Amino acid sequence: MSDNTDDKRFEKCVDDKMLREVEHFMLREARLLDTEQLKEWYEQMVSPEIRYVVTCTQLRNRNERRYTLPDKVYIYDDNYQQLGVRVTQFYDPQHWRVDPPEQYCRMVTNIEAFETDNKDKIFVRSNCLVTRARRAYEVDQFFYTREDLLIRSEQGNLTLLNRTIDYPERSVQGRNMLILL
């Protein structure tokens, strides 16, 4: 999560028309993922150039200076091909883990969209809560802040170019994170 209060990325909000388009993008994405339309999401909303990263941060003291090994823990570090593997796995008839089906509910809120140096790229920050209900008793919740870069494709629609999540829960309570965030 960015701790830069005057981060340049947050300087210039997009206009209302663009914000509506961004909101529509975020809500449609949530709906497609909630309703098992992963293939549609992947083909229509994701840029082939995507980098999809979920990390969490090892707990260190604020004044730590001398220990210099990386503190980022990568949970997802995917490109378009690898995201495609996950989507294909979901639909595989041998994928018993989602049979009986899981139920998902994504809430996307605090959506802010900002202009970037490139007129075709929009920087979007949002907060999310995903609930995954499974096998009668398993209810897992995932909460996080997303920082996305959207890019307008040649066809004119917005697509997801970059997704970066610094996941706040250090030890993931929800069994696994095999769910698109």
Partner 1 sequence: MNDMDQLVDIENSTQSKKIFLDQDIYEQEQERIFGRCWLFLAHESLIPKAGDFMTTTMGEDPVIVVRQKDGSTKAFINSCTHRGNKVCSAESGNARSFVCNYHGWVFGSDGSLIDVPLNERCYHGTIDKSTHGLPGIRVESYRGFLFGCFDQDAPPLDEFLGDFGWYLDTWMVGAGGGVELIGPAMKSILNCNWKVPAENFVGDAYHVGWTHAAALEVLGGELAGLAGNQADMPYDDLGLQFTTRFGHGFGVIRHAAASIHVKREGYDKFLRDTLPAVAENLGQARADLYDGHWNCTTFPNCSFLYGTNTFKVWHPRGPGQIEVWTYTIVHKDMDEETKKEIVKQAIRSFGTAGTLESDDGDNMTNCTHTNQGRMTRKGRMDATMGIRHEGHHPVYPGIVGSSFIGETSYRGFYRFYKEAMSAESWGDIRAQDNHWDEAWKDNGFWEAKAGKGE
Interacting residues toward partner 1 by CB under 8 A: 54, 56, 58-61, 64-67, 69-78, 81-82, 85-86, 88-89, 92-97, 170-179
Q: How many CB atoms lie within 10 A of CB 83?
A: 20
Q: Nearer Cβ to partner 1, position 123 or 142?
A: 142
Q: What is the nearest approach in angstroms of partner 1 to the Cβ of residue 147?
A: 18
Q: What is the nearest approach in angstroms of partner 1 to the Cβ of residue 137?
A: 10
Q: Nearer Cβ to partner 1, position 28 or 51?
A: 51
CB 97 within 8 A of CB 134: no
Q: What is the nearest approach in angstroms of partner 1 to the Cβ of residue 76?
A: 5
Q: What is the nearest approach in angstroms of partner 1 to the Cβ of residue 88?
A: 4
Q: Nearer Cβ to partner 1, position 15 or 71?
A: 71
